[in-house]
Structures are given as structure tokens and as C-alpha cells.
Structure 1
Amino acid sequence: MSQGLRVGVVVGVLATYVTLSLGAMVLGSPSELGFILPLTIAFLASPAIGAMIVVRRPDNRIGWLFCGMGLAFGAFIFAQSYSYSAIRGGWPGLPQAAWVAQWAFLLFILPGVLLFVLFPSGRLPSRRWLLPVAVAVAAALVTGIGQAFGPAVFETELIDSFTSEVTTWAVPNPFPVPASLSPAFTTAAEVGNTVLVGVAVFFALSMVVRLRRAQGIERQQLKWFVLATVTIGFLVPISILLSGTLADVAWVFGMSALGAGLPIAAGIAILRYRLYDIDLLINRTLVYGALTVILAALYVALVLGLQLLVSPLTGNEIFPVAISTLAIAALFGPVRRRVQATVDRRFYRSTYDARRTVEAFAARLRDEVDLASLSSELLVATRATVQPASASIWLRERAP
């Protein structure tokens, strides 16, 4: 694949994701933005980092998997939001949108599962992993088919992110199997889902074994991915065990961790250990990925907090959303600078130290007039920044 074609594919992936996500936010009501906005921002990390990897290393499957996860999530959240709007407004296409939402989520769950065995090289550790991977793909396929064609009616839930009120709607399946086959399809979907979860847990645990056996750079790369996996494994069960508003918040954080945690962990490994030699691009992606996660968390906290404090007094649901949006816009610049400084200090230490050394030298230069002192200061700054094998200063003498 030529460089131009790869760039075209990348632009198409990002444009499609942004279009679907913006459409989902436009279709969603103010009470649903508390769910849609953080998830959309978090999952932007997948196509962004995936696109950068595809441009530089199209032969590595990691980039394509991240791109696929982003597109699948965009399609899922758009179909879900359209379903909600169609229920409220009586729009056409409700059954078809609900049908897509039933299985589209598997298209970003399956790549996430496969990442556990393909990272960091994009290849399986050995041929013995072909069978577990085939089982995972088959389980996802069976689950998707069972959920798409088995039920005669889909139960679609509308969740108010402000009050946690759940309204259930029955939507007819536009493509149902005969009634006699429906129980078999439903059972197959349940079995497939159970197998997929089991394989995902197996793959995640296998990373610990691979981490213990790995050496050198690969070991350091896997550490970041294991950290992201443990975080996701901690947040998702909490969202299941909790109830009410806390469960909704935990669910948003759990899914945001799934959408942003894995690509950000991959980005850190790429940046810190130069896996794909795209350090500068990943530096910027890492900064904005972390920035979006932080701002999304602040947005959710502000919306929920203001809703609890202000809505009982004003009865207005849009006011907390508007205030939270303005606050996030005001915080963007300061938070971005803080995150950029943290990333540079942690992962670009030499560049960060060199910049600080030059700034300190420039500050001293303003107050120094002695030529010998200036020469000494210049040598010190040069050694600290570029670390030459030797350094000296030659000053041309004035002609008599």
C-alpha cells in the first residue's frame, strides 16, 4: 500500500469517527450527553493512535485494530443515539438502528480482546495461539448472529444521566428468525458471550505470563499494557456491582478506560521505548489523549455535581451542561500545558532538561558582562544539553 493511500485511509477513518460521534452527540438529548460525550472523547484515542501507526507501519496489525475499534464504536454510539431519538420523536428506521446497536459493539470488543495477544509486535507469540484466537473470533460471530437475529423484540433502555431513571422500550426485530429457532439463537448468543468473556480473561492473564518471560524492551512495553488491563479489570466489575448514579459513573469510567486505556498504554510503550519510531507524533497523541480523558472526567463530575446542586432549585437540566461546557473550555489551555510538561518531563527527559538549561543560561546571560564568566557558562550549558565528547571556545582576537 502506497504512502498516499495509507494517508487517505487514515483520514477517512478519523473523519468517519468524528462524523459518527458528532452525529451521536447531536442526536442525544442533554440528559444523555453525560454518557455520550466522555465515551466519544475516550474512544477517539483508538483511531488517532491507530492511524499514526498505520501511516508509519502498515504491516503491523496493532494500528489496524485500533482503527477498527474506533470505527466500530462510532457506528455503535451513532446507532444507539439514533434509536433513542427515534423513540422520542417517532422517526423512521428505529428497528434498523436498534438492530445495528445489538451487534455493533462486538466489533470493538473483539479487537480489544485480540490486542492482548498481538501487542507489541502485532504478531502472535507462537502458532499455538491460532486456536484460542479462532475460538474468540467464532464466539464473537456466534454472539453477534444470535443477538441480531434471535430475539423477536429488542429491549432498548433509555437512561437519564442526571436522574439515573431507566425507561425500557420494546422495539421489534426487523430481521427475526422463525419463532421455533429463536430460543436456539438466544442460547447460542449466551454461550458465545460466555466463551468470549472466558477467552478475554485467558488472554489478559496470559499477558502476566508473557511479562514474566519477556526481557529487555519487550518487558517494559508489556508492563504498560498490563497496567491498563488491570485498571480496566478493576473498573468494569465495580460498574456491575454498584447501583444507581454511582453505577452509571463507574460504567462511564470503565468503558472510557477500555476505549482510551489500551491505546494510551500502547502510546506510552511506543513513546518510551521507541517501538515504532514515531515518538513525536505519539507524544502529541499521548498529551491530547490524556487531556481528553481528564477533561471528560471533569465534565462528568461537573455535570453530575451541578445537577444535584442546581437542578432542584432551577428545574433546568440544560443549565448544568452549559456551565460545565464553559468550564471545560476555560480549563483546556492550562490543563494542556500541565499535561504537556508532565509528558515531556517523564518521557522526553533529555529534551526537557535541555530546554530548562537553555532557559536558565539565557536568564543568567542578561546579568553577566564578564567575558570569562560568559565563556564558562556557555561551556557548562553546551555540555549539559548536547553532551559532546569535548568542548572548547575559540575567540578571535581583534586586529591591532
Structure 2
Amino acid sequence: MPDQGDVRVGRPPWLAAGLVALAVAEALTTVVGVLVTGMPLAAAQDSFLVSNAAIGSVCAVCGGLIAASRPRNALGWLLLGVAVAQTATAAVTPWLARAIAVGDARATAWTATVYSAAWPWAIGLFLPLAVLVFPEGRLPGGRLRARVRWPLLAVVLANGVAQVLTFSADPYPLAPVAGFAPGQVPPAWSWLAIPGLDTGPVGAGTNILLAATYLAGVVTLVVRYRRGGERTRRQVLWPLLAAVVVVVVIAVTRAVWSVAAPGTGFPIMSTLAVALIPVGMTIAVLRHQLLDIRLLWSRTVTYVVLTAALVATYVAVVEIVTRLVGPGDGLATSVAATVVVAAAFDPIRVRLQRLVDTLLYGDRGDPVRAVSSVTAQLATGPERPGDVLPAVCQALKLPWAALAVDGDTVGEVGTRRAPQESFPLRHAGRTLGELRVGVRSGQARLAPSDRAVLELMALPIGVALHAEALSAAVQASRQEIVAAREEERRRLRRDLHDGLASVLTGVAFQADAVITLASGGRRDAPRIAALGEDIRGSVTSALDDVRRLINELHPAALHELGLVEAVRRHAQRLTRGDPVPLVIAVVDDDRVTELPAAVEVAAYRILVEALTNVARHSRATHAEVEIRCSEADLVVGVRDDGPPGDEVVWHPGVGLASMRDRAEELGGRLDAAPSPGGGHVLARLPLARAAVSRVVP
């Protein structure tokens, strides 16, 4: 279901066809009116008849196309509204001119009413709404839609009404036409006229309201561009480009007109360029990938700014030369200005094009700078080479980039799209992977300059990939060493227990036998007894040392009880009553069975150390031990209800450092910190690598 804030409608196809037919009929009526009334071409131009009919016809075609293919998008219906309003004014213009000329008061009144009340809806209501809902047919989301939706729509509607009343209050709607200026013809009052409404504070207020609605439209386009994805940004660039062209065309023609025909008014025909805006909107909605819009922007902005700079230079040179040598020699002045402009043209064009290309295509024109951005990212020590992909996309304004190793994607950023291109990542003559990038929308392939920069970028990324592979190999070797060490300790413990300990126990029994024999009353019995006592003492001391070594090699509790029961036994020893009670619960998921020796020992040592810290250093009354096992890793942790984290600061000591080292040497990680509910220690120990070098005795 569409959001209630969406300005979207769904209408049957015949309605769109009917509105297009109405606009076409109005355009044909315009042509017939011109022919029947014999309206001169100059009068048709100066009365805005030509521009109204042209803009209305273009909006009819554009709105019809959008409404037919996207019936739920309000944009098409709003453009059809512009078409009907514009062409309605054009249709009555010849008859208004004739009624004024012949003095037909009744015909003048009704034609003036239609003339002044129709097209203001286009500029005051339909077109601002079209800009606000472009390109998806709904207002922008987020806070703007929640807080400003209805006030904004109310302002736009009020603007439409204000424009109708303002233009209806003008008693001389055809004043730009020769012979229809005030004093030459009687007033042509509309039935909606409120005399004086178009002048003074009211007229100025309506102009401010009109400007505010279009400013709101510009703001929404900026919001859409900043918050939207790649597709939305390209869509927004189409009407913006059309608007820039319209502004430039009107400004240039007006400047030339003021020089060529000073005092003759505004070049009305330049308003035909406004038809480019609905064309841009239609392309953005239906075929936004037709061309690379950023390339068009690049060329347009470059040559617009270049033209303005050269015209300004020409005018400045002419003015300076005229002031220096006087206005007598116009040819010399023109030649001097032309020479200056010609000399400045190419340097300005090159620098300006470079600046615009940097804004639209990134640093592809400066390979050193582009590669430096990647190497600078690598110098900060990213966790993975894939972390430099945002810098690659930013440097060249690319929509997507990825790293692939052995055909598998190990890093990705942006929105994946076709076509794509790949660049091998090599080191020491060996291919380690690929850098894959998405081609910009509207382009079939990357430009040679893009490829050159990406090939340079591939060099440091390949080195980083090689370094990551070496680091992974070192870490794997370290984990294998730790695993082998613990397995060897487990084997030594078993051998000491089953071998040497048994032998020493037998020797102790023999010593007891010697002592027993010596007690039989033999003459040298005291000496034999003393010797037996020495043997038994030595053996007992050796047995104690062996048991201690056995426990250090592999905790006896683990060997006898397993991880869960060993931890539960240790927790029972730490559970206490008064003066500060502490209750410890051990929770497991019944999946903890036989574990690699390295993982089992590390988990036990971490939990024992964490529980000891709780018992010694916290004022907790409850603690919970968590032991969970999956196919990938073993997760162990301790949580207590000690004072909140904002009351206690943990100072890392030997215990925390030891726990973290035990986790990291297996390729795992440990998180230990106070929290609002007490304190927590959580370790994640991978099982796969720890089992690689497991020794089977």
C-alpha cells in the first residue's frame, strides 16, 4: 500500500489519452484561430502564443508517455496538467486579440478570463508539484515528508490560486504586443479581476510565493541527490541539466537582444527553451541510461562557463581599449578584443575541462593523485585489502568495485551492475586475484584513461593482497604451533602418568618393603630402615613434582571431567556465602564434546581467570558462565552483576593480558569490559584451525 504522503495516482490509460487529445485539440484550435483571425506572426510571438502552444504540446507528449508507462507516477499527470493549461491560453489568444481590436466587450471578458486563468495553473501549481515529486511521483521521505508534507502542498496550492488572481488583475494582458499597450486599447478585464491586485505589496508577495515554491523544488532535488543511490542521482541530473540550458539560453539571448535591439523588451521566443525541462524529466524517468549524463554535464558546464568567461573578457577588453584610445576606431578595438579572447581560449578551456572532469570523473586525469589516495588508505593499516575499495570508487567516481581471490569475492562496495571490467592483481609475476569495477551508467566501457589509472592502482593492491596472504600464513602457522604444543603436552601428561609415575609408585612400594624387612630384628635394621625412609621420601617428592608437572601440562580436571564439568567444579569452589554472597551458574548448550586440546585448555584458563577476577575484585552477587559450541568456533564468557560500568574502571593487568593472548594465539578474539549491568568477558575461539595439527597418539 502506498504511503499516505505519496503524491501518486493510478488512472486508466484512456484518461491519459483523453488529456493528450484535449491538449492536441487546444493546439489545433490555436492554429485555426491564428488563420481565421489573421493574427500576424509578430503578434503571435509577443503574446506568448507560440511559446505557450509549443511548451504545452511538448508537455502533452512527455506527460502522455510517462502516464501510459508509469500510471502510478504522479509526474506524468502533472505534466499533462501543464499541457492542458498552457495550450488553453494559447487557444484563446487569437480570439482575445480580435475581441480587443473590434471592441467586443463580452467576447473580451470571457477570452481574457480564460487567457489569465489557464496558464498560471501551469507555472503556479502543476510544474512546482512536478519538481517536488520528481522522479518517483512522491514527496521525499524522512523528516521532510513527516513535518512539511501538508504545509508544503498547501503553499503550492495557494501559489496557484495567487497566480491566477494576480494575472487576472492585469487589465492589459496583451501589452507586449504592438498596438495593445495601455492607452492604445481599452482595458480587457477578466471576470476574476480584482483591480490593483497585481501591483504593490500583493503583487510582490505573489512573486515571492512563486519563488519560494520553486526554491522548495530545488531543495527537494538536492535532498534526493544527496540521499539517493546512483540511479536517483543520474535521474536528477537530467532535469537539472535542462534547467541550466534554459537559464543560459534565456540569459544569453536577452543579453544579445539588449545589445542588438535596445529598448525593445524581452526576447519572448527564448522561453521556448523551457520545453527542455519536461523532456529532461521524461528521459530521466523512462530512459535515464540513454546517455552518460555526467559526460553531458561535463561538456555543458565547461562550455557554458567558458562562453561566459570569453564574453566577459571580450566586453572588458572592448571597454578598456575604448577608454584608452577613444571610440573612434571600432575595428582596432574589435581586433584587439578578438586577439585576447583567442589567446585565452585554449588555456582556459583545458583548465576548466580538467576541473569539471575531476568533479564528475574523479582523479582519472591525475593518475599519481588517484594512486596516492589508494596507497594512503593502505598506509593506515586496513584490516583487509578490500577496505581500500571505497577509495578506488571515490577516486574515479565508479559505481561498484570488488576484490576476487580464486574466483571468490572477498571485498565489495557500491551497487553491482553490468558491464564490468577486471584488472589482475599480481606480485612477483604471480596473479593473486582480480580488481573488478563497474562501468559508469551510460557507458559501454571504461575510457583508456580510466584503465590506465586502475592498472596503476592494481600494483599496490596486489602487494597488499600478498602481504595479507603472508600474514594469514603466519597466523595459521602460529595456531598450528599452539595446537601442536597443547597436543604434545597432553601426550606428555599421559606418558608421565602412565609411565614414570607408575614406576615411581612401584619404587615407593619397594621402599616400604625394605622398611618392613628391616623391622624384623636384624642387626643392621636401623640402617636399612633409614635407607628405606630416604627412598620413600625421595619418591614421594618426585611423585608430587610429577603430579604438578602433569597438571601444568594439561589440567587434571579437564582430563578427568571435561571442560564443562571442570569449570562447574571450579565455580563451586568460588561460590561463597556471607559476608558478600556470590552465586555462579554454568550454562552450556549440550554440544560441547571432544575439543582440540589447544581450544579446551585456552577456554578453561580464560574462564578460570575470569571467575577468579569476579571473586576477588568485584562486588557481584551473581555470575553466569556461558559455554557454547558450533561447527566453526567455541564461545565462552562470564557475566556478573557488579557495579555499573560508569562506577568502575577496569585497569588491564596480567590476567586480562593473559586471557587476550590465549584467545589471539588461536586466531580468536576476546572482549572484556565493564557494562551498565556489571562486567563481561567473552572469548570466541575458532575450532577449524586449532584442529589442523591435532596429534593423534
TM class, shorter-chain normalised? 0.5 to 0.7
SS at match of 2:186: strand
Equivalent residues in 2 for 1:91-110, closer than 5 Å: 91=104, 93-109=107-123, 110=125
- Amino acid in structure 1 at the alignment position of 2:15: R
1:140-193 residue CA offsets vs partner (Å, 9 max, x unmatched): 212323443x56x44531525xxxx7744332425367xxx7456854344123
Residue in 2 that maps onto 1:136: 156
Deviation of the 1:60 alpha carbon: 1.0
Equivalent residues in 2 for 1:1-400, closer than 5 Å: 3=12, 5-6=14-15, 8-26=17-35, 27=37, 28-34=39-45, 36-37=49-50, 39-91=52-104, 93-109=107-123, 110-126=125-141, 127=145, 128-148=148-168, 150=169, 153-154=171-172, 156-160=174-178, 167-168=181-182, 169-173=185-189, 175=191, 182-183=195-196, 187-236=201-250, 243=258, 245=261, 250-253=267-270, 255-258=271-274, 260-273=275-288
Identity %: 20
Root-mean-square deviation over aligned CA pairs: 3.5
Cα distance in 2 for residues equivalent to 1:99 and 1:188: 20
Deviation of the 1:232 alpha carbon: 2.9
Contact 1:144 1:189 (8 Å CA) reproduced:
no
- Amino acid in structure 2 at the alignment position of 1:221: Q
CA separation of 1:240 and 1:194: change in aligned 2, threshold 3 A: farther
1:273-310 residue CA offsets vs partner (Å, 9 max, x unmatched): 37xxxx9xxxxxxxxxxxxxxxxxxxxxxxxxxxxxxx
SS at match of 1:31: helix
Cα distance in 1 for residues equivalent to 2:11 and 2:287: 28
Contact 1:39 1:252 (8 Å CA) reproduced:
no
Cα distance in 2 for residues equivalent to 1:176 and 1:51: 31
SS at match of 1:261: helix
Deviation of the 1:9 alpha carbon: 2.0
CA separation of 1:210 and 1:250: change in aligned 2, threshold 3 A: farther
CA separation of 1:196 and 1:42: change in aligned 2, threshold 3 A: closer
Cα distance in 2 for residues equivalent to 1:107 and 1:235: 24
1:228-284 residue CA offsets vs partner (Å, 9 max, x unmatched): 22233344556777648587674321x2122x111110232234337xxxx9xxxxx
Structure 1 window deviating more from structure 2 (8-17 vs 261-270): it is 8-17
Structure 1 window deviating more from structure 2 (40-49 vs 90-99): it is 90-99
Choose between structure 1 and 2: higher strand proportion.
2
Choose between structure 1 and 2: higher helix proportion.
1
- Amino acid in structure 1 at the alignment position of 2:221: M
Deviation of the 1:3 alpha carbon: 4.8
Deviation of the 1:204 alpha carbon: 2.3
Contact 2:17 2:64 (8 Å CA) reproduced:
no
Cα distance in 2 for residues equivalent to 1:132 and 1:11: 28
Cα distance in 1 for residues equivalent to 2:17 and 2:96: 31
Deviation of the 1:102 alpha carbon: 2.3
Extract unaligned runs of 5+ from structure 1: 280-346, 351-400
User: Larger relative contact order (C-alpha < 8 A, sep ≥ 6)?
Assistant: 1
Cα distance in 2 for residues equivalent to 1:48 and 1:196: 26
Query: Which of structures 1 and 2 has the bigger CA Rg?
Result: 2
- Amino acid in structure 2 at the alignment position of 1:17: E
1:322-377 residue CA offsets vs partner (Å, 9 max, x unmatched): xxxxxxxxxxxxxxxxxxxxxxxxx9998xxxxxxxxxxxxxxxxxxxxxxxxxxx
CA separation of 1:30 and 1:232: change in aligned 2, threshold 3 A: closer
CA separation of 1:51 and 1:139: change in aligned 2, threshold 3 A: same
Deviation of the 1:40 alpha carbon: 2.4
Corresponding residue pairs, total = 268
Cα distance in 2 for residues equivalent to 1:18 and 1:61: 23
- Amino acid in structure 1 at the alignment position of 2:269: V
- Amino acid in structure 2 at the alignment position of 1:264: V
Cα distance in 2 for residues equivalent to 1:272 and 1:172: 45
